[in-house]
Structure 1
Amino acid sequence: MLQSSQTTRKELRQFGLLFGVIFTGIGLYQLYNDTAETARLVWWILGALFFIAGYAAPTALKPIHTVWMKFAFVLGWVNTRIIITLIFFLVVTPIGLIMRILKSDLLAEKINKNTETYWDDIEPVQSVKEHLERQF
C-alpha cells in the first residue's frame, strides 16, 4: 500500500510550481483555441494560485499533494494491470500458440520410453581456478 513518508517543503514547492505550469499551459492552450474567456481565466487563476502557494507557502499544498499522490497510486495500480495483461495476450500468448503449432519442445518435457535417464551429461571442468576467474 501507499507508504507514509514525510513530504519536504522542496517537494511541495515543486508540486506547486508544476501544477502552476500545467494550469497556466491549459489556459494558454484555450487562448489558442478561442475558448470562452471565463474558462481561460479559471485556469490562469488556478495556475497563479499554485505558483504563489508553491513559492510563498508550500505547506498549504500538503492536503492537495496527499490526495494527488493517492490518486497517482491508484492510477499506477490500474495501469500496471492493464499493461501486464496486454503484454501477456499480445506477446506471450502468440508465442505459446506458435510453439504449439510448430510442436517445439524447448524444455525437453516429452517422455521418451527408450531413454534410461533424463540427466544431461556435463563435461568436467579442467581447472577450477580458471573456471572461477572472470565469470562475467
Structure 2
Amino acid sequence: MIVPMTGKSRLKKLREFGFVLAGGLTVIFGILGPWLRHHPAPLWLWLVNSLLVVLALLAPRSLGPLERLWMRLGLVLGAINSRIILTAMFYGVFTPMGSLMRARGHDPLRRRLDPAAASYRLPSRERPGSHMAKPF
C-alpha cells in the first residue's frame, strides 16, 4: 500500500525533484550534448533550469504536477524496458543455452525416465551435527 506523502517530506521530495531534474538536464543537454556535437549549450536549457531551481526553492508545490507526470512516464518506460530486456534474455541467453545443453545430453534435473527403476528417490547424505554450527 502506498501512503501519500504530506507536509515537509512532500515539499522536500519536490524540492529534490526540481534540483535533480535541473542537474540532469544540465548534464545531458548542457555538457554531454555540446561536447559530443561541438555546439554551444542551447539558451532554452538555462532558462528551464533557472525556472526549475527558482520553483524548487520558492514554490516546490508547483512542481507537483510535473513530478507526477515524470513518475508516470517512468512507470510506463520501466514496464516497456523490462519486457524488452526479459525477452532478449530469454531468447538470446536461456533458450540457446537450454538447446545446447539438450543437444549435448546434459540433464541436470535428472528427468530421464527409467522404466526399470523401482524409485526415483535419491538417498540423503548423512551429515555431521557440526554443519549447523555456523550457517553463514
Q: 1:88 aligned to 87, 90, 94, which one? A: 90
Matched residue, 1:134: 134
**Secondary structure at 1:121 match in 2:** coil
Residue 99 of structure 1 aligns to which amino acid in structure 2?
A: M
Change beyond 3 A, Cα 1:15–1:110: same
Question: What is the alpha-carbon distance in structure 1 between the residues aligned to residue 49 and residue 96 of structure 2?
Answer: 48
Unaligned runs of 5+ in 2: none
Q: 2:15 aligned to 9, 13, 16, which one? A: 13
TM score, norm. by length of structure 2: 0.80
Matched residue, 2:112: 110
Contact 1:24 1:48 in 2 (8 A): no
Matched residue, 1:33: 38
Question: What is the alpha-carbon distance in structure 1 between the residues aligned to residue 65 and residue 19 of structure 2?
Answer: 16
Question: What is the alpha-carbon distance in structure 2 between the residues aligned to residue 65 and residue 4 of structure 1?
Answer: 16
Change beyond 3 A, Cα 1:110–1:57: same
Paired residues in the alignment total 130
The 5-angstrom pairing of residues 4-83 of structure 1 reads 5-6=4-5, 8-25=10-27, 26-27=29-30, 29-30=33-34, 33-34=38-39, 40-83=42-85
**Secondary structure at 2:4 match in 1:** coil
Q: Report Cα offsets for 1:58-115 as digits up to 9, x if no partner.
A: 1110010011111111111111111111111121111111111102221111111222
Question: What is the alpha-carbon distance in structure 1 between the residues aligned to residue 128 and residue 34 of structure 2?
Answer: 74
Question: What is the alpha-carbon distance in structure 2 between the residues aligned to residue 90 and residue 21 of structure 1?
Answer: 36
RMSD between aligned residues: 2.6
Unaligned runs of 5+ in 1: none
Residue 134 of structure 1 aligns to which amino acid in structure 2?
A: K
- Computing the radius of gyration over CA atoms, which structure comes out larger, 1 or 2? 1
